[in-house]
């Protein structure tokens, strides 16, 4: 019976390891949360050129295929992010937002988000 009332040992759980993107963003949760769902780990592996992705998005939108339009806008937006083209990032994620009604955090501060993405790609992707 005495064993029931013993003090339990405190179990220390290991601290979760921060991802490379989290480390790069530091304490900037807004930029991290904007990049996490839209950033391709290695956009060089995407075989569709950005122009074709954008054309596919517009075609799908015109055909009222909003699921396809969203997918293609996100592909085009992710490639624009990799290229560092703020204007196209805005254009493509506004398109995705238009067809889905979903808010894309990248549109809150696209210049800063693109700059962090560029920093990530320069550091972690080597040609």
For residue 49, pLDDT over 60 is answered with: yes
Output DSSP code: residue 6. Answer: S
For residue 1, pLDDT over 60 is answered with: no
Q: What is the pLDDT of residues 57-115, one digit of tens each?
A: 999 999 999 999 999 999 999 999 999 999 999 999 999 999 999 999 999 999 999 99
Closest CA to 35 of 125, 122, 121: 121
Alpha helices in 7-124 (DSSP H): 20-25, 29-35, 50-62, 66-83, 86-100, 110-124
pLDDT band at 15; cut points 50, 70, 90: low
Let me know how long the chain is. 127
């Amino acid at each position: 019976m005495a064993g029931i009332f013993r003090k339990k040992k405190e179990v220390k759980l290991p601290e979760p390891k921060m991802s490379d993107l989290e480390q790069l963003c530091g304490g900037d949760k807004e930029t991290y949360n904007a990049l996490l769902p839209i950033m391709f780990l290695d956009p060089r592996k995407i075989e569709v050129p950005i122009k074709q992705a954008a054309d596919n998005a517009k075609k799908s939108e015109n055909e009222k295929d909003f699921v396809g339009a969203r997918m293609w806008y996100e592909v085009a937006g992710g490639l624009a992010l990799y290229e560092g083209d703020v204007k196209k990032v805005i254009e493509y994620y506004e398109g995705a937002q238009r067809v889905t009604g979903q808010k894309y955090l990248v549109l809150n501060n696209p210049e800063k988000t693109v700059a962090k993405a560029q920093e990530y790609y320069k550091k972690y992707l080597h040609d």
